[in-house]
C-alpha cells in the first residue's frame, strides 16, 4: 500500500516511485491501458481490428511509452467536453499515472479513433491546456433583451497555464451587462487564482464576446421577398381570366360564320 499523506489523502503510485494527491489533482476520468511492444502500421491495424486504439504516453522527463486503449471506453470519454480539459487516471496493471489528452486522430469517414497522444502529469509541474469558456446571462443582457442586438461568441476556449491542482474544468464569463455595440475582452474575464492566461501573459487582449446590431438590409430583403411573390401571383391570376375571355369571342365568331357559309352554298346550287 502507498503511504498516506499527512492531511489524510490517499496517495497513488505512478509506477516510477513518485506519488500524487488524487483528490488535489481533480481527476474525474479513468482509463485502463495496456503496454504494447509491437510497432508499425501492421501492428496498429491489428490492434484496431481487435477493438483497441494505439496510444503514446510521453512527458515528465521520461521516455515515451507505447500503449493501447479500449476503443469503446475511449469514445465514450471523448463525447464528454470535460474530458479534453481534465486530468485522467491512466491505469496499466497495478500502476497508475496522471495524464492529459493531447491529440486525437480520427478516421476520415468511419466513426473510429485511430490514435491518441497522452502527456504525463506531475503535481509540481506546470501544465498548459485549453479550457472551455461558459457564457452566462445572455438572455438578460440589455443589448439582446431590449435593444434588438445579437450576441456573438468570438472565442469558445482559453489557453491557460497552471499547476494540476489549480486546473479549472471551465471558465465562466458573465455577459448579462452587455449593451448594444459593446464587447468583452480577455482582460475582462475573471480568471481563477493560480491560473495564468497564456495570451494575456504574451501581451494579447482579444475580444471574446460582443453584441452587435442586425444588418438592416437583411431584414428588408426577407420582408420584401414574400410581398413580391404575392404580387406576381396576383398578376398571373388576373391575366388568366383575360386570356380566357379573349379566346371565347373568337370561338363564337367561328361558329357563327359556319351557318353563313352553308346558306351561300345552297343559293349557288339553286342557280
Residue 169 lies in a domain: yes
The upper half-sphere exposure of residue 9, i.e. CA atoms within 13 Å in the direction of its Cβ, equals 12
Q: Which of these three, 105, 122, 139, is where a domain ends?
A: 122
Per-residue confidence band for 148, with pLDDT thresholds at 50, 70 and 90: very high
Q: Supply the mean pLDDT for the chain.
A: 80
Per-residue confidence band for 49, with pLDDT thresholds at 50, 70 and 90: very high
Phi-psi region of 17 (alpha: psi -120 to 50; beta: other; left: phi over 0): left
Q: How many CB atoms lie within 10 A of CB 164?
A: 22
Residues 6+ apart with CB under 8 A from 18: 122
Per-residue confidence band for 14, with pLDDT thresholds at 50, 70 and 90: very low
Per-residue confidence band for 12, with pLDDT thresholds at 50, 70 and 90: very low
Q: Residue 33 pLDDT more than 60?
A: yes
Co-location of 59 and 92 in the same domain:
yes
At 167-201, the pLDDT tens digits run: 998 999 999 999 999 999 999 999 999 999 999 99
CA 121 to chain centre: 27
- The pLDDT of residue 4: 35
Question: Is 143 in contact with 178 (CB distance < 8 Å)?
Answer: yes
As for how many domains the chain has, the answer is 2
Co-location of 209 and 153 in the same domain:
yes
- The pLDDT of residue 227: 53
CATH code for the domain of 155: 2.170.120.20
Q: Which of these three, 188, 216, 244, is where a domain ends?
A: 216
| Residue 5 exposed, middle or buried by CB count within 10 Å (0-12, 13-18, 19+) | middle
- The pLDDT of residue 22: 39
* Host domain of residue 180: 129-216
Range 128-136 average pLDDT: 95
Measured in degrees and rounded to the nearest 5, phi and psi for residue 105 equal -110, 130
Of the candidates 16, 99, 111, the residue with the CA atom closest to the CA atom of residue 55: 99
Residue 253 lies in a domain: no
Range 77-87 average pLDDT: 93
Instruction: Write out the three cell numbers for 43.
Output: 501492428
- The pLDDT of residue 80: 93
How do beta strands 29-35 and 62-70 pair? antiparallel
Of the candidates 135, 146, 130, 131, the residue with the CA atom closest to the CA atom of residue 208: 135
Range 56-68 average pLDDT: 93
Per-residue confidence band for 125, with pLDDT thresholds at 50, 70 and 90: very high
Instruction: Give the sheet arrangement for strand 149-153, strand by strand.
Output: 149-153, 207-213, 183-185
Instruction: Give the sheet arrangement for strand 157-162, strand by strand.
Output: 171-174, 127-136, 157-162, 196-197
- The pLDDT of residue 229: 53
Q: pTM of the prediction?
A: 0.66
Co-location of 133 and 61 in the same domain:
no
Q: Residue 39 pLDDT more than 70?
A: yes
Co-location of 79 and 153 in the same domain:
no
Co-location of 134 and 114 in the same domain:
no
Instruction: Write out the three cell numbers for 129.
Output: 491546456
Q: How many CB atoms lie within 10 A of CB 227?
A: 9
CATH code for the domain of 44: 2.40.240.10
Range 137-149 average pLDDT: 95
Per-residue confidence band for 38, with pLDDT thresholds at 50, 70 and 90: confident
Q: Residue 271 pLDDT more than 70?
A: no
- The pLDDT of residue 61: 84
- The pLDDT of residue 3: 38
- Give ∠ CA 138-133-127 in degrees, rounded to 5: 165
Q: Which of these three, 196, 216, 236, is where a domain ends?
A: 216
Q: Residue 44 pLDDT more than 60?
A: yes
Amino acid at each position: 500500500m502507498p503511504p498516506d499523506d499527512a492531511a489524510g489523502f490517499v496517495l497513488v503510485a505512478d509506477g516510477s516511485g513518485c506519488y500524487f494527491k488524487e483528490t488535489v489533482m481533480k481527476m474525474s476520468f479513468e482509463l485502463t491501458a495496456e503496454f504494447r511492444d509491437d510497432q508499425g502500421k501492421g501492428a496498429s491495424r491489428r490492434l484496431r481490428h481487435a477493438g483497441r486504439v494505439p496510444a503514446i504516453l510521453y512527458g515528465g522527463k521520461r521516455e515515451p511509452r507505447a500503449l493501447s486503449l479500449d476503443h469503446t471506453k475511449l469514445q465514450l470519454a471523448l463525447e464528454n467536453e470535460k474530458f479534453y480539459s481534465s486530468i485522467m487516471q491512466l491505469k496499466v496493471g497495478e500502476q497508475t499515472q496522471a495524464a492529459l489528452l493531447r491529440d486525437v486522430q480520427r478516421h476520415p469517414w468511419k466513426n473510429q479513433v485511430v490514435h491518441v497522444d497522452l502527456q504525463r502529469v506531475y503535481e509540481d509541474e506546470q501544465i498548459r491546456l485549453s479550457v472551455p469558456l461558459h457564457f452566462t446571462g445572455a438572455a438578460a443582457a440589455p443589448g439582446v433583451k431590449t435593444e434588438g442586438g445579437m450576441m456573438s461568441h468570438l472565442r469558445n476556449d482559453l489557453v491557460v497555464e497552471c499547476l494540476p491542482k489549480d486546473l479549472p474544468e471551465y471558465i465562466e464569463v458573465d455577459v448579462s451587462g452587455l449593451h448594444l455595440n459593446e464587447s468583452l475582452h480577455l482582460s475582462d474575464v475573471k480568471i481563477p487564482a493560480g491560473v495564468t492566461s497564456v495570451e494575456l501573459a504574451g501581451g494579447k487582449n482579444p475580444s471574446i464576446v460582443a453584441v452587435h446590431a442586425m444588418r438592416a438590409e437583411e431584414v428588408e430583403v426577407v420582408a420584401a421577398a414574400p410581398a413580391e411573390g404575392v404580387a406576381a401571383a396576383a398578376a398571373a391570376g388576373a391575366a388568366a381570366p383575360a386570356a380566357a375571355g379573349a379566346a371565347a369571342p373568337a370561338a363564337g365568331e367561328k361558329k357563327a360564320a359556319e351557318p353563313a357559309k352553308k346558306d351561300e352554298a345552297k343559293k349557288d346550287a339553286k342557280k
